[in-house]
């Protein structure tokens, strides 16, 4: 997509046009994906994904460890939840997160950081308990088995996390 050149200093219209183009590029926070009807075989960048369909077969292919992997979407099992990690004076903290059920194969896991709150504020009661996000926090997760995953919270600025905070996260696991 090619967008026009802007001279914001001369016209409010130029600013409006630029903001409209930015909205178009960001797609209002929605992400589009490539849809294919043949199994992907080309070398891709790590993390690249494609939606595949053929007849009644729907799959999500993702490129990882130098190869294409997939999960079925038409007979998938999806579990989700939330939890928290007590931060420590280190760049990264991890913990095991049980799914509460057993998948047939290890799932694809998505984890998002939802905020932090002082430990002295009490025990977290739900995602809304985390009232503020601390800057430069990132959450990640990966399945370690068919029953659990490892979740990590990282301070992406390179410094240590703050041991006086709990960091909340939500997770979603997809598999068959």
For the chain, give every domain's residue range: 76-175
CA distance 148 to 12: 53
Instruction: Give me the pLDDT at residue 3, please.
Output: 57
At residue 120, the pLDDT reads 94
Q: Per-residue pLDDT for 28 more than 90? A: no
- In whole angstroms, give the CA distance from residue 106 to residue 145: 6
DSSP 3-state assignment of 99? Answer: coil
- Range with lowest mean pLDDT among 17-26, 126-135, 157-166: 17-26
Integer distance in angstroms from the first to the last C-alpha of the chain? 37
118: nearest Cα among 82, 167, 169 = 167
More confident residue, 23 or 160: 160
* Per-residue pLDDT tens digits for 45-73: 878 888 998 887 888 899 988 899 988 77
Dihedral-angle region of residue 22 (phi above 0 means left; psi in -120 to 50 means alpha; beta otherwise) = alpha
pLDDT tens digits, 118-141: 999 999 999 999 877 776 888 999
Residue 7 binned pLDDT confidence (cut-offs 50, 70, 90): low
Mean pLDDT of all residues belonging to the chain: 85
The reported pLDDT for the residue numbered 27 is 60
* Kind plus residue range of the DSSP H or E element containing 13: helix 12-26
Looking at residue 15, its pLDDT comes to 66
Spell out the residues 6+ positions from residue 4 whose beta carbon is closer than 8 angstroms to its own: 17, 21
CA angle (60, 168, 46) in 5-degree steps: 30
Answer yes or no: CATH 2.60.40.2080 is held by domain 76-175. yes
Q: Residue 5 — pLDDT band, cuts 50, 70, 90?
A: low
Distance CA 115, CA 117 (A): 7
List, for residues 76-115, the tens digit of each pLDDT value: 788 999 999 999 999 999 999 999 999 888 899 999 999 8
With tokens 């989700």, the residue in question is 80
Q: What is the pTM of this model?
A: 0.59
């Amino acid at each position: 997509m090619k967008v026009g050149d802007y001279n914001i200093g001369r016209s409010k219209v130029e600013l409006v046009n630029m903001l409209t183009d930015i909205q178009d590029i960001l797609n209002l926070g929605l992400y589009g994906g490539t849809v294919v009807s043949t199994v992907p075989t080309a070398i891709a960048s790590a993390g690249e994904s494609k939606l595949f369909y053929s007849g009644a077969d729907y799959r999500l292919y993702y490129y990882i460890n130098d190869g294409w992997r997939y999960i079925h979407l038409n007979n998938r099992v999806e579990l989700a939840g939330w939890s928290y990690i007590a931060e420590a004076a280190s760049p990264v903290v991890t913990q095991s997160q049980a799914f509460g059920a057993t998948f047939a194969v290890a799932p694809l896991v998505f984890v998002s950081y939802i905020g932090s709150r002082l430990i002295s504020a009490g025990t977290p009661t739900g995602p809304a308990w985390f009232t503020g996000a601390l800057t430069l926090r990132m959450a990640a997760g990966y399945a370690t088995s068919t029953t659990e995953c490892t979740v990590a919270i990282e301070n992406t600025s390179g410094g240590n996390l703050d041991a006086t905070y709990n960091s909340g996260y939500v997770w979603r696991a997809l598999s068959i």
